[in-house]
Amino acid sequence: MTHNTEKPINRRQLLAAGAAASGALAASRAFAQDAQGQPLMGDPQLPEAAAQRTGWAVVGLGTFAVGQVMPGFLAASRARMTAFVSGNPDKAAMLGQRYGVERLYSYDNYDQIADADDIECVYIVLPVGLHAEYTIRALEAGKHVLCEKPMASTSTECERMIAAARANDRRLGVAYRIHFEPTNQVAAQHIANGDLGTLRHIRCEHGFPANPQWPPHAWRLQRALAGGGSMFDIGIYGLNTALMAAAGDAVVEVSGLYSYDRSDPRFAEVEGGVDWRLRLASGAIVSGSSSYSYSPYISRQTYIGDKGNITMSPACTYYDNEGVIDTGNGPQPLGAGPAATQFASQLDGFTDAVREGLAHLTPGEMGLRDIALIEAIYASADNGGIPVTV
- DSSP class per residue in 313-378: SS-S-SS---EEEESSS--EE-----TTHHHHHHHHHHHHHHHHT---SSBHHHHHHHHHHHHHHH
- β-pairing, 79-85 vs 199-209, is unpaired
Question: What pLDDT does residue 15 have?
Answer: 46
Nearest-CA neighbor of 375 among 276, 241, 249? 276
Q: Which residues are catalytic?
A: 149, 237
pLDDT at 335: 82
End-to-end CA, the chain: 101
Please, which contacts does 131-138 make with residues 24 or more away whose CB atoms are closer than 8 Å?
131/157, 131/161, 132/157, 132/158, 132/160, 132/161, 134/59, 134/110, 135/161, 135/164, 135/172, 136/160, 136/161, 136/164, 137/110, 137/111, 138/57, 138/59, 138/113
Within a 10 A sphere around the Cβ of 1, how many other Cβ atoms?
A: 2
Q: What percentage of the chain's residues is helix, strand, coil (to nearest 5)?
A: 40, 25, 35
The pLDDT of residue 40: 72
Q: What is the pLDDT of residue 243?
A: 98
**Interatomic CA distance for residues 342 and 180, integer angstroms:** 5
What CATH number has the domain spanning 179-337+364-389? 3.30.360.10
- Note the CATH architecture for domain 50-178: 3-Layer(aba) Sandwich (3.40)
CA–CA distance, 307 with 72 (Å, rounded to integer)? 37
Element (H or E) spanning 93, and its range?
helix 89-99
Residue 272 contacts residue 260 (beta carbons within 8 Å) = yes
Which ranges in the chain are annotated with CATH 3.30.360.10?
179-337+364-389
CATH 3.40.50.720 boundaries in the chain: 50-178
Beta bridge partners of 369: none
CA distances for 345 relative to 49, 79, 165, 180, 198, angstroms? 17, 10, 23, 6, 30
Report d(CA 28, CA 150) in Å as an integer. 67
Q: Which residues pair with 333 in a beta bridge?
A: 324
- DSSP E strands in the chain: the ranges are 54-59, 79-85, 103-105, 121-124, 144-148, 172-175, 199-209, 251-258, 273-280, 285-291, 293-305, 309-312, 323-326, 332-333, 388-389
Q: How far apart are CA 311 and CA 29, in angstroms?
A: 60
pLDDT in tens, the chain (390 residues): 444 444 445 544 544 545 555 555 555 555 556 777 777 776 667 889 988 999 999 999 999 999 999 999 999 999 999 999 999 999 999 999 999 999 999 999 999 999 999 999 999 999 999 999 999 999 999 999 999 999 999 999 999 999 999 999 999 999 999 999 999 999 999 999 999 999 999 999 999 999 999 999 999 999 999 999 999 999 999 999 999 999 999 999 999 999 999 999 999 999 999 999 999 999 999 999 999 999 999 999 999 999 999 999 999 999 999 999 999 999 999 988 999 999 999 999 999 999 999 889 999 999 999 999 999 999 999 999 999 999
The Cα 323–Cα 352 span in angstroms is: 29
